[in-house]
Structure 1
Amino acid sequence: MRDRAQALLIDLDGVLRRWDPAPMIAVEVEYGLKPASFLETSMSWDIYQPAMAGEITHAEWMKLVADRLPLDGPEAVAAVAAWQEYRGEPDPDVLAFVREVRAGGRKVGLATNGTDLLPADLDRLGLTGEVDLVINSWDLKVHKPAPEYFEKACQALGVLPKHALFVDDDDRVVLGARSAGLPAYRWTGTEHLPYLRKVLDLS
């Protein structure tokens, strides 16, 4: 890259936080739901977008999910509650990388499309304090890949877009970041960490 990265913006889900599908599958089997029912329902754009943009709370989002499941009211609520008990886990290799970046004098921002549940999730995952700042779409009222999101994220980090290395596992979001002027890297796994270290002058 022509301009050296001075800070890191890293995605949460699919990068710093990983998800084991087994707990979700177990709940779907228990309640007789078809595979991927929770993901398909919760990611329906008409309810997912308002949750990520801070228009509704996480609890309101989950109520909408329950309302759409092919279960009666109390059973649907119980199914969603059981599904939500598992909150994923940090990827230890990525967390070690984040710590290395910070130890090397670079700021790290957690750049995520999240809800008002995010602070509690970070506490539960032991990630509170592991980054310099959290850029949550719910707080900004705008979500990735909108250019305004990246503009506000860079302002919060105190760097120009061209100096903020962005890492995400979503092609659409990576393209949005590049359009906003950020050097953006499409994450597919920890095999890319040596390259990212070089980009940040850590090795």
Structure 2
Amino acid sequence: MGQYWKTTVQVASIAAFGLLTACGGSAGPENEAKTSADERPANTSTLADRGEAAKADTASGPINAFSFEATGAELSNPVPSPEELIPAGGCNGESQIGLSFHRGDMTESRWFAVGFTTKAVVAPGETGVFPLQALQWDNGVERPPNLPEDSPARVARRFMGADGVTLTLETHIATSRERRMAGTLQGHVKRFGTDEAADITAHFDVNQSCGVK
């Protein structure tokens, strides 16, 4: 199918991922923190072991910490560090949260992305458990199966979930002096066009908030 040629694939995939971040804004002030490593089951793939937590005023980037685990699917690439990830989207206090984190280009083998959209509006400073409209994980890229082996075209190896997927916001600071959200994404996702599925958990800590109180 001609639609899978490189340029078209990249634009189409970015547009699809943009559906998860359409409500968002830009990242807020920059701080740094890191998650602590822990033991994980042998059948669980992990995308993060980030060391001791740092003080929130040691700025280095918009993402303080990020970790990811997938049970049931093998990770295509090592963990991206918070410094490698690029955030997109956000919220303004009168909208859903639409936020994503990605590394690399969608035509590269190292492509990684996680994105989500909440079902409900999240107010400034609000915390708790929020059902998600969508949870998405791009686990690397692959050649479209209908193209020849020497084709340079690539599409995201994409998993999606909508039933029972949640965001738990543990921290949500929305003041003029500090903007920060820390939360955990959890849910069951299925790979497009296959029977492959995974249970994923992602923790993020970013320097942005849903508006300001």
TM-score range for the pair, normalised by the shorter chain length: under 0.3
Which protein has the bigger strand share? 2
Structure with greater Cα Rg: 1
TM-score under structure 1 normalisation? 0.21
- Which structure dedicates a bigger proportion of its chain to helix? 1
